[in-house]
Structure 1
Amino acid sequence: MITTKLATIAVLATVAAAAPTTAAPTTTEVRPFKFSQWVDDIINPDVEALTPEQAVEAYYQSVNATTSTQTGGTKAKRFSVQCYTSEYTRAEVNPAAMCVSSLAALGNGVTYSWSGYAKSVTLCNDIPNVELVAVSGTDGPKVATAQQLAIGGGHIMDACTWGGRTGGLAFEDFNPDIQIYLRRQI
């Protein structure tokens, strides 16, 4: 009888020693894809950035892999971005990504200038169905680099991409008198 009790105690001790003492985390955090970070990657010469097609695919993968944990209140959005809701104004995501990518790749050496209230410069005319427009909100000369405008486009895409389309307007920190529009070609 003592041998049976000792054998049972030995088996229980072996099972208890083999059991893990803490649970290992089994979930990994999926971070949403940010177009603005992608623009920063294009600008950074030390980083190999995704192509526009890869960026759009990464965006869709992150959207499909994340779930909303919003329990009420308001979502955090950039205060300086307003999104378009009309499908006639919103551009398709792929051409918009190509536009933003091409501007970011031009670098800070490429500048655009214009002068006067409500005057503008329209970019990405060579890409069908999308345009990025910079408009002055006040009189006087305005100057913006291609990278600054690309960053604005990335912020618009972060806040305003859904349903395969994107578009809106942004006021950027480099010059709040300049409005950046990313939209379907009109």
Structure 2
Amino acid sequence: MVHFTFPLVALALTVSVAATPAPTSATTFSFAQWVDDIITNPDTALTPVQAVEAANAAAVIASAGSLQKRAWCQDQFKSAPANDAAACLDTLARLGSQGVQCTVPADRSDIQMCRIGGAQVVSSKGPAGEHSANCNDVARTGGLIFDSCWRAENTVKGSEICVGNPNFQVNILGV
């Protein structure tokens, strides 16, 4: 059963603080911002386990600071453990920083971009042909999914259109 109360409260808080600078206290946490931190300075970014711990300690898991479309929290997907899914996002962000492209080939409708433990990041594409995005954008999109679809039992599952390619969808789900 999905409870909509928390996301609506998080959205209301996000809207109310959208004009203020990014929070520096432990009262909010954003996985999307965490992925950006990995991309910007991987040596000082939180580890995946630290990111999940920070999210658990935070009073609110907020979106990246602006009103935006929410990810689809797919009930038909199997839930992915948060630590494993965060480790996938960390891996993809570090690959993207090296210029690696995440690609769904022309002969496939989807492909697994990362699998760690009980989590996987799977990308799917729309129109015919090969579609790709920098793995940074796939990780950023995964951060948005986390921010929208985090579950109280430390799991995540959901989908979102890729930040850098509207013909490319990113999915986080369990194995």
TM-score, normalised with respect to structure 1: 0.69
1:49 aligned residue: 45
2:128 aligned residue: 139
Paired positions, count: 146
Cα contact 1:77–1:159 (8 A) shared by 2 = no
2:91 aligned residue: 102
Determine what percentage of the aligned residue pairs are the same residue.
32
Matches for 1:9-158 after TM superposition, within 5 Å:
31-45=27-41, 48-63=44-59, 66=60, 78-79=68-69, 81-85=71-75, 89-106=78-95, 107-116=97-106, 119-125=109-115, 127-158=116-147
1:12 aligned residue: none
Cα contact 1:41–1:47 (8 A) shared by 2 = no
Cα contact 2:137–2:163 (8 A) shared by 1 = no
Give the greater-gyration-radius structure (CA). 1
> How far apart are residue 45 of structure 1 and its match?
2.7
Aligned-residue RMSD, C-alpha: 2.5
Name the SS for the 1:89 alignment partner: coil
Name the SS for the 2:78 alignment partner: coil
Query: In 2, distance between residues paired with 1:82 and 1:90?
Result: 13
Cα contact 2:30–2:55 (8 A) shared by 1 = yes
TM-score, normalised with respect to structure 2: 0.74
> How far apart are residue 120 of structure 1 and its match?
1.7
